[in-house]
Amino acid sequence: MKNYSDLRKISKVFRQYGIALTGSKKYASFKDDLRMDKIYVYGLIFELEFELSKQIADDKVDEVSAPVQIIDLLMS
């Protein structure tokens, strides 16, 4: 049940940033498809970490290029 709660929180934060997680959109590139600046992506990650009270390793954050990657890191 905790995973479901976490997924709802994640979905809420992504919606606040105007990012849909439906279908293939969760695989969209932050840079190319969503036209997001790296600083904006870092802000998104910060809010997700804060909302879930989890932290993603800095070396993993630099490798993130799509919403699904952030979700995988937060759920693992």
Is residue 46 scored above 80 in pLDDT?
A: yes
Could you tell me the domains of the chain? 2-75 (1.10.1200.10)
Mean pLDDT of 25-53: 94
The model's pTM is: 0.89
Is residue 52 scored above 80 in pLDDT?
A: yes
Is residue 2 scored above 80 in pLDDT?
A: no
pLDDT at 1: 61
Is residue 54 scored above 70 in pLDDT?
A: yes
Mean pLDDT of 47-75: 94
Rounded Cα gap, residues 40 and 43, in angstroms: 5
